[in-house]
Amino acid sequence: MTEHRELIRGLHNLQPRHRGCVATIGSFDGVHLGHQAIISQLRARASEYGLPAVAIIFEPQPHEYFSGEKAPARLMRFKEKVLALFAAGVDRVLCLQFNERLRNLSAEAFIQQVLVNGLGIRHLVVGDDFRFGCDRSGDYALLQKVGAGANFSVEDTATLEIDGERVSSTRIRKALESADFALAEALLGKPYRITGLVARGRALGRQLGAPTANVRLHRYRSPLVGVYTVTAKRTNGSPMAGSCMEVAGVANVGFRPTVEGEGAKPLLEVHLFDFSGDLYGREIAVTFCHKLRDEEKFESLDILKQKIAQDIENAKAWFASRKP
């Protein structure tokens, strides 16, 4: 097994020492409890073989390559996903760039180039509904057939159900869309949060009486759009304010229709209560608690300012109502 976690970007970065592993393939968006069950299965097989556990992912995700902005919203950005895969027990992540060349690769060529020549896999854990290769012509049966002659075995992934329904990224997106954060947490195994670096903006929040920490989302679409009560913490474990690890606040996720034109990219803006520190360039994790309202376009900045003040008041009242 590897002594440290390793991200490998592209087939061209595979080294001879990377050959020999137990692997799985997927999008793993959210790295939810269903994914974690697959990784536990992967780790168990890797332990039996005495080999590293490898997750093969794609960037962009195939449905993003084909659908662009119409693709389902990402639950997490690339960096968050890789770190979550490592935390779940994967030794190595092989990220393949999904481009025209990979799209046109036949299923047989994908098996040969990636799984056999590239990774030298001994065992593959993959869903029996997995399709791959040009025109999605490759399937579980083909993997088994080729594997029998290429010295690797294939095993179906475990399926995890909660409340009689399969845990999936789609189900989590629907829960977030309806602001059912309790269900999202049950499916993810942890509260839904967005992590990212605080970037400099136009300081408009300060002019509107509510300075914000701005986090770019690095995705076409956000699974959340609207105004929410949130808590935020630094990802390096240092206190946010005094001795407090987490600070309550209110956040807007969306496209800021009152101040931005067409084509704006989604942004997370967080106003933290009782906090005056400098977060620029720091990475923070924002946990979503409750939805206050949908994002709206206002006729003027004065009206927006009034609404933000009301949002802050409503958010503070919500937090106060949660105290024992």
Chain mean position to CA 71: 14
Indicate whether 38 and 109 sit together in one domain: yes
Please give the pLDDT value at position 123: 98
Phi and psi for 113 in degrees, rounded to 5? -75, -40
Indicate whether 11 and 155 sit together in one domain: yes
Calpha distance 283→12 (Å, rounded)? 31
Residue 282 in contact with residue 197, Cβ under 8 Å? yes
Please give the pLDDT value at position 185: 98
Please give the pLDDT value at position 258: 53
Indicate whether 114 and 247 sit together in one domain: no
Q: Specify the pTM.
A: 0.92
Residue 215 in contact with residue 284, Cβ under 8 Å? yes
pLDDT single digits (tens) 188-231: 999 999 999 999 876 565 555 578 899 999 888 899 999 999 99
Indicate whether 201 and 273 sit together in one domain: yes
Please give the pLDDT value at position 302: 87
- Whether 72 is covered by a domain: the verdict is yes
Indicate whether 155 and 271 sit together in one domain: no
Residues whose CB falls within 8 Å of the CB of residue 47, separated by 6 or more in sequence, listed in order: 1
Please give the pLDDT value at position 3: 53
Please give the pLDDT value at position 305: 87
The CATH number of the domain holding residue 43 is 3.40.50.620
The CATH number of the domain holding residue 264 is 2.40.30.30
- Whether 268 is covered by a domain: the verdict is yes
How many domains does the chain contain in total?
2
Indicate whether 34 and 123 sit together in one domain: yes
In angstroms, the Cα distances linking 63 to 127, 162, 164, 175, 215 are 18, 26, 27, 20, 24
pLDDT single digits (tens) 111-156: 999 999 999 999 999 988 889 998 889 999 999 999 999 999 999 9
Please give the pLDDT value at position 138: 93
Token pair of 276, please? 């005056």
Token pair of 164, please? 């009689």
Indicate whether 153 and 196 sit together in one domain: no
Please give the pLDDT value at position 200: 82
Q: What is the CA radius of gyration of the chain?
A: 22
Indicate whether 317 and 255 sit together in one domain: yes
Token pair of 9, please? 């970007």
Indicate whether 156 and 196 sit together in one domain: no
Indicate whether 209 and 124 sit together in one domain: no
**Domain membership of residue 205 as a residue range:** 192-322
What stretches in the chain show pLDDT beneath 50? 1-2
Calpha distance 229→50 (Å, rounded)? 46
Please give the pLDDT value at position 209: 55
In angstroms, the Cα distances linking 52 to 4, 24, 205, 265 are 10, 11, 48, 38
- Whether 79 is covered by a domain: the verdict is yes
- Whether 118 is covered by a domain: the verdict is yes
Q: Which of 188, 183, 186, 181 is nearest to 231 (CA)?
A: 181
In angstroms, the Cα distances linking 118 to 9, 155, 181, 301 are 13, 20, 41, 56
DSSP 18: G
Indicate whether 138 and 41 sit together in one domain: yes
